[in-house]
């Protein structure tokens, strides 16, 4: 049959890989949106006291800056945590609240968020290539009627690809500097950054920053 011949020629491999990538992006979306992004829990305060001093020492941050209690959920906020009023929780290493995920991006799901964006970008680029390859341009109304769906699909894919690419590049840049979206946008309002000797006291070099984030 034609299907067997296509399988023998390896023509079914690419559609299969594309479907698997789409499935992977969907699973990653649900994983990132449903998982705990790093909520600070009241019972963790005692552990914070026991583990104090075991983390990475950053001498550029003034020692007189004390951890404060959140005015909303009344937990003691660790360094780099922020309260999200939409999630009603303080989030460790808070980056931002993503409206598309209906969840915060924080310490626990930020690496998976980057993986999700990467897979989504590959899917969109592949889909854009397929849509573009099916277009052949003619200056006639009949051609537009027959190809309007494919043309709209390509334009939507192009817009989404641009958005995902900009998001991925911006996040990779911030990760390479060991900063978050919240710290980058609100540097002047954050006490441990405003009173620091350096603009970014967490920066330990691109390689080490990437290593600590992903590994």
Phi, psi of 14 (to 5 degrees): -65, -45
Distance CA 97, CA 89 (A): 11
Taking the C-alpha atoms of residue 82 and residue 102, their distance in angstroms, rounded to an integer, is 17
Tokens of 33: 């949106």
d(CA 166, CA 164): 6
The encoded tokens of residue 127 equal 């889909």
d(CA 146, CA 158): 20
| H or E segment and range at residue 160 | helix 141-176
Element (H, E) at 143: helix 141-176
Length of the chain: 215
Pair 28, 119: CB distance under 8 Å: yes
Enumerate the active-site residues: 98
Q: Which of 161, 163, 165 is nearest to 132 (CA)?
A: 161
> Torsion angle, CA of 148/151/156/162, rounded to 10 degrees?
-160
């Amino acid at each position: 049959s034609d299907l067997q011949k296509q399988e023998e020629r390896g023509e079914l491999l690419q559609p299969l890989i594309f479907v698997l990538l789409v499935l992977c992006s969907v699973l990653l979306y649900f994983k990132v949106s449903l998982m705990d992004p790093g909520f600070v829990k009241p019972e963790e305060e005692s552990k914070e006291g026991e583990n104090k001093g075991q983390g990475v020492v950053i001498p550029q941050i003034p020692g007189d800056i004390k951890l404060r209690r959140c005015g909303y959920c009344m937990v003691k906020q660790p360094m780099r945590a922020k309260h999200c009023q939409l999630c009603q929780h303080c989030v460790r290493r808070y980056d931002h609240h993503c409206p598309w995920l209906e969840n915060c991006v924080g310490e626990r799901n930020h690496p998976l968020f980057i993986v999700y964006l990467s897979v989504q970008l590959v899917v969109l680029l592949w889909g854009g290539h397929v849509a573009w390859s099916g277009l052949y341009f003619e200056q006639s109304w009949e051609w537009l009627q027959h190809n309007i769906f494919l043309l709209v699909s390509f334009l939507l894919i192009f817009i989404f690809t641009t958005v995902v690419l900009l998001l991925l590049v911006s996040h990779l840049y911030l990760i390479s500097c060991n900063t978050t979206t919240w710290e980058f946008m609100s540097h002047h309002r954050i006490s441990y950054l405003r009173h620091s000797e350096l603009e970014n006291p967490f920066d330990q070099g691109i390689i080490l920053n990437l290593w600590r984030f992903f590994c």
